[in-house]
Amino acid sequence: PPIIEVRDLAKTYASGTVALTGVTLDIREGEILALLGPNGAGKTTFISILCGLVTPTGGHAAVGGHDIARDYRAARTLIGLVPQEIAVEPFETVMNTVRFSRGLHGRARDDAHLEQVLRSLTLWDKRDARLNELSGGMKRRVLIAKALSHGPRVLFLDEPTAGVDVTLRREMWAVVRDLRASGVTVILTTHYLEEAEEMADRIGIIDRGRLLLLEDKARLMHEF
Ligand code: ADP
Ligand code: ADP
């Protein structure tokens, strides 16, 4: 079965803005899906609904078979989120940062799991470094490590390369592709076709709240 099932999902904000309408899709376990669309298309709204941060005004979504409205807590344990804007404690160490994040999810301490996460992101050697001592690329890896600290099966990355330079952007592309080895399903948003092409197995195009197209990358690239 798909790890995520979305049926006719809709969100109209109290302001009257229709941010999403009639979005239906299945997300396969282990795939990397890029949601591509311009600013204001509804990408963040989509992610926020699946993470339980925004209540939809129509439709349904389930993660690992758990309906996010009826069974939010069970769904939430399966999800990791790297939001667009995140605050970190600059003087905290890498290890303490991910440990604290795991604790926030209500999970028992498990340094063996955290070691595995840090190693997968080549952060293990930096575990005792303070965040303000890290490069931009390493800092971004810590944000991903935080989101993986409780062992989710799905990772959401909202605009993972927003506001970074070309070198760091390429570094992040490689980091995301490498997440495949950890078996986690990845859903990311971007407004660059090139970026979706570099990272994703499938690309969904969102515009004005609608999912216009959802296609395997290879086929999409062949068509255009
Ligand atoms: P994207 O992530 O693709 O840039 P968003 O999901 O952030 O798109 O926004 C979709 C639309 O919903 C935009 O028109 C945006 O202005 C609007 N929107 C987003 N959040 C809110 C909110 N909290 N209240 C009202 N309108 C919002
Ligand atoms: P976490 O599991 O990450 O600790 P929380 O359970 O504290 O997260 O909730 C995170 C956000 O989701 C909060 O803004 C909260 O209001 C919202 N939330 C909590 N439960 C629900 C629910 N059943 N439906 C929708 N949103 C919820």
Which candidate, 76, 3, 19, places its Cα nearest to that of 211?
19
Q: What is the pLDDT of residues 5-28, one digit of tens each?
A: 999 999 999 999 999 999 999 999
With bands split at pLDDT 50, 70 and 90, how would you rate the model's confidence at 162?
Answer: confident
The whole-chain average pLDDT of the chain stands at: 94
Tell me the average pLDDT across 74-79: 95
Dist CA 83 CA 47 (whole Å): 9
Query: For residues 54, 60, 63 and 65, what is the CA-based torsion angle, rounded to 10 degrees?
Result: 150
Confidence class for position 224, pLDDT limits 50, 70, 90: low
User: Which ligand gives the minimal distance to the CA of 209?
Assistant: 1
Is the pLDDT at 55 greater than 70? The verdict is yes
Instruction: Kindly tell me if the per-residue pLDDT of 152 is higher than 90.
Output: yes
Beta carbons of 81 and 146 less than 8 angstroms apart: no
Is the CB of 76 inside a 6 Å radius of any atom of ligand 2?
Answer: yes
Higher local confidence (pLDDT), 114 or 164: 114
Q: Whose CA is nearest to atom 15 of ligand 2?
A: 53
99 contacts 71 by C-beta, under 8 angstroms:
no
Q: Which residues pair with 218 in a beta bridge?
A: none
How much is the average pLDDT of 122-130? 97
- Which of 36, 39, 44, 82 gets mutated to test ligand 1 (max ligand atoms within 8 A of its CB)? 44
Based on C-alpha coordinates, what's the Rg of the chain? 17
Q: How confident is the model at residue 84 (pLDDT cuts 50, 70, 90)?
A: confident
Say what the pLDDT of residue 164 is. 85
pLDDT of residue 223: 73
DSSP codes, 109-162: P-HHHHHHHHHHTT-GGGTTSBGGGS-HHHHHHHHHHHHHTT--SEEEESSTTT
Give the number of the atom of ligand 1 that is nearest the alpha carbon of residue 209: 10
Vertex 80, ends 10 and 29: CA angle to 5°? 75
Find the ligand nearest to 39 CA: 1
Type and span of the H or E element at 196: helix 193-199
* Ligand 2 in reach of 72 Cβ (< 6 A): yes
Residue bearing the bigger pLDDT, 88 or 149: 149
Q: What is the mean predicted confidence (pLDDT) over 177-184?
A: 89
Percent of the chain scoring above 70 in pLDDT: 100
pLDDT of residue 99: 97
